[in-house]
Amino acid sequence: MRIGVLGTGSVGQAIATKLISLGHDVKMGSRTATNEKAVAWKERVGQGASVGTFADAAAYGEILVGALSGAGAIDALKSCGGSSLAGKILVDISNPLDFTKGFPPSLSVCNTDSLGEQIQRTFPDLKVVKTLNTVNAALMVDPSRLHGGDHTMVMCGNDVDAKQKVKDILTGWFGWKDIIDLGDISNARGTEMFLPLWVRLYGVLKTPEFSIKVMR
Ligand SMILES: NC(=O)c1ccc[n+]([C@@H]2O[C@H](COP(=O)([O-])OP(=O)(O)OC[C@H]3O[C@@H](n4cnc5c(N)ncnc54)[C@H](OP(=O)(O)O)[C@@H]3O)[C@@H](O)[C@H]2O)c1
């Protein structure tokens, strides 16, 4: 499958590398067509990898992965042009973290709205599925790093078929065993508001390798 990964940070790199290892073709997108990190990634992983602008990656992908900074996510997607996004699934991993006052960051949107909803409202033809934003990049694509993968991933979005497709990707490609569908995209408020706890746990545990296990 052709996948457009929007983002050159640790999330974009982890997801893109995993997808290449599974035999998919991946274009990593950035604000510039020759982003240094994207070009280095392409050289590292080789066959199936390509780089370009956010618009290039969006046009290329049958499915899109949004590994974008919270502050830049909407602008990055706007730069793609509506026709490249229309009808496609966007796996939205971004968190609306605001570091302007240092660590721990606050959320730039919360309680009655979320970044996932803002993206869905701005791009109504995009099928936004919010997931993976509650764990660090390495765990996203290899949950077995922790307790044999015995922990929980949450997801939400408005389009039932899109969520099923993303669930198949999480289980079949990445190895997630326990996925809870929270419902429509307004539930991104809950998954994003986990971050204030996540950053504090990180501050105490001194490792990003932890996750939620929902016992029921
Ligand atoms: N790091 C993790 O383990 C982790 C875990 C869970 C969730 N997340 C979330 O996943 C997202 C990606 O995280 P990350 O650490 O991989 O990378 P990041 O540094 O948060 O974001 C990287 C991407 O955002 C783009 N970007 C930054 N400012 C922008 C702007 N003003 N306009 C347009 N695009 C802009 C960058 O574009 P360029 O390529 O042009 O620089 C880059 O591709 C974040 O929202 C983060 O909160 C991260």
CB 177 within 8 A of CB 143: yes
Alpha carbon of 165 to those of 15, 32, 63: distances in Å?
A: 16, 30, 10
Mean pLDDT value of segment 44-55:
97
82: pLDDT strictly greater than 90: no
Q: How far, in Å, from the CA of 71 to the mean position of ligand 1?
A: 8
Judge if the beta carbon of residue 137 lies within 6 A of ligand 1: yes
Q: Hey, what are 143's tokens?
A: 């949950």
pTM flag (> 0.95): yes
Distance CA 133, CA 112 (A): 19
pLDDT value at residue 7: 98
Hey, what amino acid is at 123? F
pLDDT digit string, tens, across residues 171-181: 999 999 999 99
At residue 198, the pLDDT reads: 98
pLDDT tens-digit series, residues 138-191: 999 999 999 999 999 999 999 999 999 999 999 999 999 999 999 999 999 999
With a 6 Å cutoff on the Cβ, whether 136 touches ligand 1 is yes
Q: Is 95 in the pocket of ligand 1 (CB under 6 A)?
A: yes
Predicted confidence at residue 110, as pLDDT, reads 98
Give kind and range of the element (H or E) at residue 25: strand 25-30
Hunting for tokens 């079949």 — which residue is that? Answer: 172
For ligand 1, whether the C-beta of 94 sits within 6 Å is yes
- Condensed to tens digits (0 to 9), the pLDDT of residues 1-16 reads 999 999 999 999 999 9
Whether the pLDDT of residue 109 is over 90: the answer is: yes
Please choose, from the candidates 196, 25, 34, the residue with its C-alpha nearest in 3D space to the C-alpha of residue 103. Answer: 196
